[in-house]
């Protein structure tokens, strides 16, 4: 596993742990809101790192690999939905503290991010190691 992929997987773990901490603390507490903000910052930094280091290498390799090109197109479309949902969630709950709505929305966000993380680690990151290695 390349150093980049190791770092991205570690960031996935940090983001997941931060979200689990938010779930434990609740959004009503200041610590919960602060942890939510930290999770948002971590997620945005992670996405920026992927955009800067992961995707350019994959896009170069996809120029001569139709299968990889299709895979990247699917991941890009999915990421547009995931990122807009995540950002809407973070914006909504930066100041809102409604417990039942938060629990429902949080469950949806956590499931969406968890699924995306699994796909990235099982498909995309492996493709990166194949083409960069």
How far is C-alpha 53 from the chain's CA centre?
Answer: 15
pTM assigned to the model: 0.88
Share of the chain above pLDDT 70, in %: 96
Compute the distance between CA of residue 29 and CA of residue 82 in angstroms, rounded to an integer: 26
Residue 127: pLDDT band with limits 50, 70, 90: very high
Encode pLDDT of 64-97 as tens digits.
999 999 999 999 988 888 988 888 888 887 776 6
* Burial of residue 125, with CB atoms counted within 10 A of its CB: 0-12 exposed, 13-18 middle, 19 or more buried: buried
């Amino acid at each position: 596993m390349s150093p980049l992929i190791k770092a991205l997987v570690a960031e996935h773990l940090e983001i997941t742990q931060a979200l689990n901490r938010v779930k434990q603390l609740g959004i009503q507490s200041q610590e919960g809101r602060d942890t939510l903000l930290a999770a948002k910052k971590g997620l945005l930094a992670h996405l920026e790192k992927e955009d800067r280091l992961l995707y350019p290498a994959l896009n170069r390799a996809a120029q001569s690999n139709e299968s990889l090109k299709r895979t990247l197109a699917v991941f890009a479309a999915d990421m547009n939905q995931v990122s807009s949902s995540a950002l809407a969630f973070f914006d909504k709950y930066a100041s809102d503290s409604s417990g039942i709505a938060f629990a429902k929305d949080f469950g949806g966000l956590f499931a969406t991010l968890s699924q995306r993380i699994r796909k990235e680690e099982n498909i995309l990151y492996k493709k990166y190691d194949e083409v960069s290695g």
